[in-house]
Amino acid sequence: MLTIAHRGASAYKPENTLEAFKTAMSTGSRFMETDVQLTKDGRLVLCHNYEVDGRNIKTNILKDLNLPTLEELLDILKPETKLNIEVKNDDNIYPDIERKILAVLNIYGHKLKDNILISSFDYPTLQRVRALDKQIKIGVLTRNFKIENVLALNAYSANMSLKRINEEIVKACHKENIKVFVYTVNTAKEAAQMAALGVDGIFSDYPDMLGN
């Protein structure tokens, strides 16, 4: 079972900062997760909330937000590091963000893209990603699991909450060769429960929890 560094090593450093991702890699993490949004001046930035320090990301420019960019994160990744990019795009707040993300990934090369998993709670966002790129890995983030939605996207994984995952979902996914990743698992007891369910990976603020 993999441990995916949730927003970097966010238990040790501020989430979605370059320091958090560097710390995760220093613990030996080979799989990390971040949130991506789009600024007014068209920059892809790492942030979970739609506002930071009282500023709306969509209506402010990069220099006024003081957030790291997706390019800055890609620059520091080790070649073997996998990255789950969660696209924050409820109700298509950022039109064309999918194309912008894929354009950046294309600049960094096909080898890097093999290590990228794109996820979102917004299903139409994932549909647009799949329409633009038939090969890139997709993770369906969902609070209402439907195997047909996962299959329709030829998804790599179903990403589910610790509160909602169950044996039936795991079996349904594994029957179709779909990975199951569960968030957010921050205790040894929870990790043991997920291992017993047979999930493939856990998102954790403690990337060193399982030693991988």
Q: Which of 4, 5, 6, 165 is catalytic?
A: 6
Read off the DSSP letter of residue 131. H
> Which DSSP string do the residues of 59-92 spell out, in sequence order?
TS-HHHHT--BHHHHHHH--TT-EEEEEE--GGG
Structural Rg of the chain based on CA atoms: 16
Q: Which residue reads 């856990």 in tokens?
A: 202
> Which of the following is catalytic: 22, 40, 48, 55?
48
Helix residue spans in the chain (DSSP H): 18-26, 62-65, 70-76, 97-108, 110-113, 123-132, 147-152, 167-175, 188-197
Main-chain phi, psi angles of 158, to 5 degrees: -110, 125
Annotation says 174 is catalytic: no
Whole-number Å distance between alpha carbons of 103 and 52: 25
Active-site residues, by number, are 6, 48
